[in-house]
Amino acid sequence: MVSMPNGIPGNEPTSAGSRRHIFGDDADQYDTARPGYPRQLVQDVLDFSALAAHVPALEVGAGTGKATLGFARSGVPLTCVEPDVRMARVLRRRCAHLPDGDVTIEVADFEAWHPRRRYGLLYCAQAWHWIDPAVRWARARCALVPGGAIALFWNHWFLPCGELADRLTAAHARHGVEVPPDTLLDPRPRPARRGPEARQWRDMTAAGFVEPDHRLYASAHERSTSALIDLFTSYGGYRALPAGPRDRVMTEMADIVAEHGGRARVQVITSLFLGRTPPTATSSQAAGAWDRQH
């Protein structure tokens, strides 16, 4: 049985620092396959952060810009930090139509990146679990002004239980491939923990963030056979598979979806965690904390 690395946020593999670059192996395919985020989520994040006019926000792990454009269209100046140069190349292309200065892109690991200023909002879409848990919360606090907001969110996609999901799961078994956790065919409820029970909530408050909140957004969309297979292959667990087993599973799944009418309904739960730095912290304290980590 070929097993795939655990991709559940909050259960980071020890090799996360290297594995997060796997998405850049085909950045264009990733960008095409992955859905964006609800417009209401973007508005809720901006309302929570209460950014003053022209105050920039920081995006950590921007990828190809699946969340970037939603915030940029709202008129918020952005600094986007992305560790993979190939993903950043797609991000630059997608932002090319925006006015100069609206989006600044820096290729760097957030763990080693030095901000030139403090931000009123830090947000991270689908990537916080890839950042070193030993430093990520302290780095976030140091990058934010007192009272600055943090917003972490993930899309959880799944196929409803039924004949199609059963047949696709069986295809994995026939080829000796395990269904990875937190992917389209994982039958467990997503997110697995909610509110104060969620690890992100507990870690956030333990790191000194206040006013925690957890919000969920439900949506659904139809996918063609090719679009569904592209979404499967955009997962890190599938990308990490040997090419032979992966290609055989994907080919059989494509045949199954085609027999099912060539379309599948994908349900999405988007999970958003919010918090903010204490308003009593001083900028000098934040800067000192940052300096002590270098």
Name the residue ranges covered by the structural domains of the chain. Answer: 16-292
pLDDT digits (tens, 9 = 90+) for 209-228: 999 999 999 999 999 999 99
Dist CA 84 CA 89 (whole Å): 9
The pLDDT of 265-283, averaged and rounded, is: 88
Q: H-helix or E-strand containing 233? A: helix 225-233
User: Exposed/middle/buried for 269, CB within 10 Å: 0-12, 13-18, 19+?
Assistant: middle
Tokens at 149, concatenated: 């907001």
* pLDDT at residue 7 in the model: 43
Confidence band of 19 (pLDDT split at 50, 70, 90): low
pLDDT given for residue 4 in this prediction: 42
201 neighbors 212 (Cβ within 8 angstroms): yes
| pLDDT-above-70 percentage for the chain | 87
Helix (H) / strand (E) containing 155: strand 144-158
Distances (CA, A) of 273 to 107, 122, 145, 150: 25, 12, 19, 8
Give per-residue pLDDT as tens, 125-167.
999 999 999 999 999 999 999 999 999 999 999 999 899 999 9
* Mean pLDDT (the chain, rounded): 89
CATH fold for domain 16-292: Rossmann fold (3.40.50)
> Using an 8 Å Cβ cutoff, are 123 and 67 in contact?
yes
Please tell me the pTM assigned to this model: 0.88
- Residue 171 pLDDT > 60: yes
CA distance 71 to 82: 16
Element (H, E) at 57: strand 57-60
With a cut of 50, say whether residue 3 has pLDDT above it.
no
Residue in the block written with tokens 């919010």: 274
Summarised one tens digit per residue, pLDDT across range 36-65 is 999 999 999 999 999 988 889 999 999 999
